[in-house]
């Protein structure tokens, strides 16, 4: 290992343990992007997400981020009918009675992102390994790796919900609405999540006109058509996004029913890879930063 790389590792370790959130965010962003973020005058979408982590503190963000409390948030906004069916809430993995669960279900922890166990067939599930994975996630402070404020101090629980399936496509299509000032401006439609080379993205504007932007890799071979329920998807999104300078609202369609997925305030922790890269600036222009909280 070169001397410069050794010094960098020491610095990174020190900042991770003892540094301020700003120091940590600046170092992480530099490692990823090759240049430090301009946190005093952010311009790109990714830079503004870093500013958002540091300077905006709306308690509703933490409620909407918490996978359990978000259900109350959605209900309070008059949309309880779009919630997925809740099968159980647990403090520890050993509390899960797999025998009482249906043949298919989803387990996820309340305080993180991407910490999901999707079980389409309970008979094939390795239950001890599943419990071990959930316990590891419960010990993980998801706030620390990216300093994403809305995840800070969320009570750590396990949520079990109904397994969702879209028969029309043979997979669950994920509609991700990027909302600025409470209005959806960009829709990324995610498909082929379990393909060999990972999830594919298609981008549309609110009129369902395809936009020439990808999320770092080629899009899917087939174009997802505008859903019949698109007007309802937009209306639901606007209701959930109201009052937030930026939020991504994720929704599903299951047999023509709109189903709530999650709300995310820092997509990819502000390390979005847009192709072509100028969309980082274009989407940054849409993001009007609020006053510091």
Q: What is the pLDDT of residue 7?
A: 61
What is the tens place of the pLDDT at every residue in 23-75? 999 999 998 888 899 999 999 999 999 999 999 999 999 999 999 999 999 99
**pLDDT exceeds 70 at position 286:** yes
d(CA 82, CA 167): 18
**pLDDT exceeds 60 at position 6:** no
Q: What is the pLDDT of residue 16?
A: 72
Higher pLDDT, 53 or 172: 53
The full set of domain ranges for the chain reads 1-33, 37-83+166-293, 85-163
C-alpha dihedral (284, 145, 148, 262), degrees to nearest 10: 90
What is the tens place of the pLDDT at every residue in 146-157? 999 999 999 999
**pLDDT exceeds 80 at position 140:** yes
Residues in the chain: 293
Q: What is the pLDDT of residue 217?
A: 75
Q: What is the pLDDT of residue 42?
A: 98
Q: What is the pLDDT of residue 66?
A: 98
Query: Do the Cβ atoms of 246 and 150 come closer than 8 Å?
Result: no
Q: What is the pLDDT of residue 222?
A: 76
Q: What is the pLDDT of residue 180?
A: 98
Q: What is the pLDDT of residue 250?
A: 98
- Buried b / exposed e across 72-110, counting CB within 10 Å, b at 16+? ebbeebebeebebeebeebeebeebeeeebeeebbbbbb
Q: What is the pLDDT of residue 216?
A: 74
Q: What is the pLDDT of residue 13?
A: 72
CATH number of 37-83+166-293: 3.30.470
The DSSP call for residue 81 is G
d(CA 268, CA 260): 19
Work out the mean pLDDT of the chain and round it to a whole number.
93
Higher pLDDT, 36 or 169: 36
Q: For 221-240, what is the mean pLDDT?
A: 93
Query: The pTM is what?
Result: 0.93
Higher pLDDT, 232 or 18: 232
Q: For 154-178, what is the mean pLDDT?
A: 92
Q: What is the pLDDT of residue 178?
A: 98
**pLDDT exceeds 80 at position 253:** yes
pLDDT band at 290 (very low <50, low <70, confident <90, very high): very high
Q: What is the pLDDT of residue 238?
A: 98
Burial class (CB in 10 A: 0-12, 13-18, 19+), 249: buried
Given strand 116-119, what is the order of strands in its sheet? 86-90, 158-162, 105-109, 116-119
Q: What is the pLDDT of residue 244?
A: 98
d(CA 30, CA 8): 12
What is the tens place of the pLDDT at every residue in 105-135? 999 999 999 999 999 999 999 999 999 999 9
Q: What is the pLDDT of residue 4?
A: 63
Q: For 268-277, what is the mean pLDDT?
A: 94
């Amino acid at each position: 290992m070169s001397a410069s790389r050794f010094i960098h590792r020491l610095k990174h370790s020190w900042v991770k343990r003892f540094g301020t959130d700003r120091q940590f965010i600046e170092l992480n962003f530099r490692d990823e992007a090759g240049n430090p973020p301009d946190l005093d005058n952010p311009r790109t979408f990714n830079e503004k997400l870093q500013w958002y982590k540091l300077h905006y503190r709306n308690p509703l963000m933490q409620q909407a981020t918490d996978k359990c409390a978000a259900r109350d948030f959605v209900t309070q906004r008059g949309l309880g009918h779009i919630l997925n069916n809740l099968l159980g809430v647990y403090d520890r993995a050993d509390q899960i009675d797999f025998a009482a669960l249906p043949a298919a279900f989803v387990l996820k922890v309340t305080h993180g992102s991407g910490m999901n166990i999707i079980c389409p067939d309970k008979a094939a599930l390795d239950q001890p390994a599943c419990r071990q994975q959930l316990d590891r996630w419960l010990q993980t402070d998801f706030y620390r790796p990216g300093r994403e404020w809305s995840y800070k101090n969320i009570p750590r629980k396990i949520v079990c919900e109904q397994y969702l399936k879209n028969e029309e496509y043979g997979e669950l299509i994920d509609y991700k609405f990027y909302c600025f000032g409470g209005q959806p401006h960009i829709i990324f439609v995610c498909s082929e999540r379990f393909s060999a080379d990972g999830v594919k993205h298609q981008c549309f504007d609110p009129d369902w006109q395809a936009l020439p932007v990808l999320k770092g890799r080629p899009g899917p071979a087939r174009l997802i058509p505008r859903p019949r329920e698109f007007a309802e998807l937009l209306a639901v999104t606007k209701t959930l996004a109201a009052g937030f300078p930026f939020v991504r609202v994720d929704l599903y369609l299951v047999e023509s029913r709109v189903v709530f997925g999650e709300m995310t305030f820092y997509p990819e922790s502000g390390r979005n890879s847009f192709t072509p890269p100028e969309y980082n600036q274009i989407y940054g222009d849409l993001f009007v930063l609020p006053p510091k909280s």
